[in-house]
């Protein structure tokens, strides 16, 4: 059972907009920045967002991140087939003194 | 170019020990560094973090069995794994904290090294 809660799956058709949620608590998302990672099949994870909504260079602006209270969201607009991947949220947890991950969301492009 | 290359994985019997290495280039291993693992078909699990000042943190699942360390002269990060259990079977990734972000973030990852615990 992951400390951060994500839906196990999400889907959309090409061109659509999809959103992936990440729910936590006051000790993690509520008091620290959220990071998002994309893991394409068979590859290492890649940083998608740091500090809630900051995109590293090279990440398309079709991707957006947000945070409100103890929840965060990742939105992908103009969905493409190569967006099919697992997406993970993460944050520092002050109570656990640990990095906590969400269980991951498998995105399928129909 | 910033690069991380893990090594040291393999097939090991339960109760055994292993030392994983992560050799970095393009930056100094003295940065905040993290180990993350992924069991077959499962999600990412944070394992350990070492601050630039040497302070270390561990997941409860590995505390007392795993030790993170580094050798700045070799630009290499290590993870000593003792008392291995079947549930430690996973791909182990090392990652760097982003210079522009937070100590617990991970902006560049290695390709991973596989540890299989089985008799």
B60-116 pLDDT, tens digit each = 999 999 999 999 999 999 999 999 999 999 999 999 999 888 999 999 999 999 999
Nearest CB to B44 within list A56, A91, A101: A101
**B117 and B86 Cβ atoms separated by less than 8 Å:** yes
Nearest CB to A99 within list B46, B98, B101: B46
Chain B residues whose CB is inside 8 A of the A47 CB are 98, 105-108
A88 interfacial to chain B (CB closer than 8 Å): yes
B8-61 pLDDT, tens digit each = 999 999 999 999 999 999 999 999 999 999 999 999 999 999 999 999 999 999
Q: What angle do CA B88, B91, B92 make, to 5 degrees?
A: 85
To which residue do tokens 């992560």 refer? B22
> Can you tell me the mean pLDDT for A51-72?
97
Q: Identify the contact set of chain B against chain A, taking CB-CB distances under 8 A.
A: 34, 36, 43-46, 49, 57-60, 93, 98, 100-112
Which tokens belong to B61? Answer: 């699942």
A104 interfacial to chain B (CB closer than 8 Å): yes
Other beta carbons within 10 Å of B110: 22
A38-57 pLDDT, tens digit each = 999 999 999 999 999 999 99
Residue by residue, DSSP assigns A34-55 as EEEEEE-TTS--EEEEBTTTBP
A79-94 pLDDT, tens digit each = 999 999 999 999 999 9
């Amino acid at each position: 059972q992951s400390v951060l809660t994500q839906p196990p799956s999400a889907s959309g058709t090409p061109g659509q907009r999809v959103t992936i949620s990440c729910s936590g608590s006051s000790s993690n998302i509520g008091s620290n920045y959220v990071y998002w990672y994309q893991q394409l099949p068979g590859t290492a994870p890649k940083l998608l967002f740091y500090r809630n909504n900051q995109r590293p260079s090279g990440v398309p602006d079709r991707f957006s991140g947000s945070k409100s209270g103890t929840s965060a969201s990742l939105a992908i607009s103009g969905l493409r087939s190569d967006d099919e991947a697992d997406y993970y949220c993460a944050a520092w947890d002050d109570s656990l003194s640990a990095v906590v991950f969400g269980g991951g969301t498998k995105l399928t492009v129909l | 170019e910033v690069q991380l290359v893990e090594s040291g994985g393999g097939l090991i019997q339960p109760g055994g020990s292993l030392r994983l290495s992560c050799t970095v280039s393009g930056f100094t291993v003295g940065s905040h560094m993290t180990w993350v693992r992924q069991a077959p078909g499962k999600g990412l699990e944070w394992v350990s973090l070492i601050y630039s000042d040497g302070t270390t943190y561990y997941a409860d699942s590995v505390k007392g069995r795993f030790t993170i360390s580094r050798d700045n002269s070799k630009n290499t990060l290590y993870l000593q794994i003792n008392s291995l259990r079947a549930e430690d079977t996973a791909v182990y990734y090392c990652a760097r904290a982003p210079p522009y972000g937070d100590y617990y973030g991970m902006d560049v990852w290695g390709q991973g090294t596989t540890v299989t615990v089985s008799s």
